[in-house]
Amino acid sequence: MIKRKSTQPKNRKTALQIAFGKMLRMKRTESELSQEKLADLAGLHFTYVSSVERGERNISLENIGKLAKALNCKIKELMDSLG
């Protein structure tokens, strides 16, 4: 029997990803930056930043560093709310 792939997207959001996304959005809005501008400053695509803010990405340390630099904050500041 052949198993068919589901056409429904899997919900892979974790509490950690969601919490990081909320902190990123808070820092971005405090800095009065759009997702597009933040992405440009960090050298990332704006759809990637959007998906991180929604908790849909398991973001790498490298990209966390790029976002922190673009936001003029320390990586620690983006991680403070994570536990």
Per-position pLDDT tens, the chain of length 83:
677 766 655 677 899 999 999 999 999 999 999 999 999 999 999 999 999 999 999 999 999 999 999 999 999 999 987 87
- What range defines the domain where residue 19 resides? 15-77
User: What is the structure's pLDDT at 8?
Assistant: 53
Does residue 2 fall inside a structural domain? no
Q: Are 59 and 20 in contact (CB under 8 A)?
A: yes
Does residue 44 fall inside a structural domain? yes
User: What is the structure's pLDDT at 80?
Assistant: 86
Does residue 52 fall inside a structural domain? yes
User: What is the structure's pLDDT at 2?
Assistant: 73
Distance CA 5, CA 58 (A): 23
Put simply, whether the predicted model's pTM sits higher than 0.75 gets the answer yes
User: What is the structure's pLDDT at 37?
Assistant: 98
Q: What is the CATH number of the domain that holds 50?
A: 1.10.260.40
User: What is the structure's pLDDT at 65?
Assistant: 98
Closest CA to 57 of 10, 7, 21, 9: 21
Q: Are 56 and 10 in contact (CB under 8 A)?
A: no
Domain count across the chain: 1
